Every structure is written in C-alpha cells, then in structure tokens.
Amino acid sequence: MIQINPIIRLVNRNLTISINPGFIIWQILFPLIYIFVAGFAYTALIDSVPFGGKNLDYPAFLASGMIGFNIMNSTLISGIIIWNDRRHGMFEQIMSGPFTRTHYILSNIVTIGIIGLFSAALITAVGYPVFFDSVEFNIVTIPLIIFGSVVGAILFGSIASIISVKLRSSEGFNVIINTVFLFCAFASTAFYPVQGAPQPLATIFYLNPLSYLVDIIRAGIFGQVTDFVITEMLVLVALAAILFVIATKLLTKLDF
C-alpha cells in the first residue's frame, strides 16, 4: 500500500524549492508582455481570428493561448528537479531515507499537477479582462480548464522528465529541453491560428500536443466544444498516458 505522508513531504519539498518570488514574477511578467504588448501590437496586422463558430480579436486569442503555453512552460520544473537531484546527489539521499522510487515519481506528478493548475488560474485571472467580451463560460468551462491543466502538466512534465533522465551533461540538458519546449511553443496554435497557414506548417501544428491543449482550453473559455475538440481531448490523454509510462519506467531504473 502506498503511504501518502512521504508523498506529501516530497511534494512540499518540491514546491518549496520550485516556487519562489522569481518564479512567480516570471510566470506573471512573461505572459503580461505577450498579452498586452504583442497582443495589442499585432491587432494592426490581425483584425480577428476564427475559432469554432465565432471570431475572436487577436488579444483574446493570444491571452487564451498563453494559458496553455504557461502550463507547458511551468512543467519544466519537473525536469529541473530530477536533473538537480541527480547532479547534486539528492536522489541518492532521498532513496536512503523513508522514501521509495514510487514516492518520488508520484510526488513529481502531483507537483507538476499543482503547478499546472496554479499557472492556469494565474493566467486566466491576468487575461480575463482581455477576453471578457468574447467569453462564454458554461458548465463545462472550469472542468475543461482543469482537465487541460492536469493532463497537459502530466504530458509536458513527462517529456521534461524523460529528457532529464536520458541526458547527463548540463549543456546538453539545457539545449535539448529549451529547444523542445520552444519548438512546441511556436509551432502551435498558442500564438497564431492554423487557418491560412501553409499546409506543411498546419500539419506540424497538429503534430504538436500543445495545439490540442490550447484548443481545449479555448473551447472551454469561448464555449466552442465540438467533436474535433473532444477528439483532441482523447488524443491528449493518450499521449500523456504513453509519455507518463515511458517517464515512469525510466525513473524506476534511474541510477544514482
């Protein structure tokens, strides 16, 4: 039987070392720059963006996309925690205490789930004045945002965990993890609509799980839940499950 107390202790430790004033400021400042600078600056080029059965102004489109982006960005913490634990000998110390690898894995998943929800709530609050005119909250809005936050955090947290386990040099870790996450960020529907994009680029957008995450959150906020969005939810769950299993297997074999 899995003991809850060791998991809570590790989650508390993860949150303590991860969430600090610098992290919170970055989680607010970066989206603010995009939403209120890039968003309104690009309105001169982008009048409106079609989404589902309605047209959104670009700041509303971008603000809702930043929720998914920030969820992905915040899950870098998962990989950084594992990387630092290995590099500084903390993983060995944790395993020598009253903790197991199962406790360690579950605590990381709970940590990125909490941070994902925190990040989504933060950007929703910041961006709400921007997409207020277009918002269509209904009974599925909050469940969809929670669903996207948790599943997206598990998916991208698993990617970060896999990278942190497979790479041994700090240079390689930083280059690969930042390249992967930057590619996911800018080759997605977080910042631009897929409509009108060249076909090769549009295909890349929908090979990117961030596009599914962003579309699901937008569907909840703007009341545009369609069969396609439901399909995206199923794909997102499947990808998260596969990557989580891979990350878990790698972590169970992680050496000191």
| Per-residue model confidence as pLDDT tens digits over 49-95 | 888 778 888 888 888 888 888 888 887 777 788 888 877 778 778 87
Backbone φ and ψ of 154, nearest 5°: -65, -45
Percent of the chain with pLDDT over 90: 11
- Asked if the structure places residue 32 within a domain, the reply is no
Residue-level pLDDT at 255: 63
Most confident range (mean pLDDT) of 71-75, 96-100, 155-159, 164-168 is 155-159
Spatial distance between the Cα atoms of 23 and 26, rounded to a whole number of angstroms: 5
Most confident range (mean pLDDT) of 23-32, 57-66, 96-105, 134-143 is 57-66
Residue-level pLDDT at 3: 61
Domain count within the chain: 1
Task: Write out pLDDT tens, residues 187-219.
Answer: 888 888 887 778 888 888 889 999 999 999 999
- Asked if the structure places residue 176 within a domain, the reply is yes
Provide the sign of the torsion angle of the four alpha carbons 119, 140, 59, 207, taken in this order: positive
Better pLDDT: 46 or 1: 46
- Asked if the structure places residue 98 within a domain, the reply is yes
- Asked if the structure places residue 110 within a domain, the reply is yes
Q: How far is CA 152 from CA 65, 125, 148, 176, 196, in A?
A: 13, 19, 5, 20, 26
- Asked if the structure places residue 25 within a domain, the reply is no
Spatial distance between the Cα atoms of 158 and 139, rounded to a whole number of angstroms: 30
* pTM of the predicted structure, to 2 decimals: 0.85
Place of tokens 């970066």: 30
- Asked if the structure places residue 47 within a domain, the reply is no
- Asked if the structure places residue 243 within a domain, the reply is yes
The domain in which residue 225 lies consists of 4-19+65-124+136-252
Residue-level pLDDT at 240: 92
- Asked if the structure places residue 14 within a domain, the reply is yes
Which of 82, 76, 251, 77 is CA-nearest to residue 178?
76
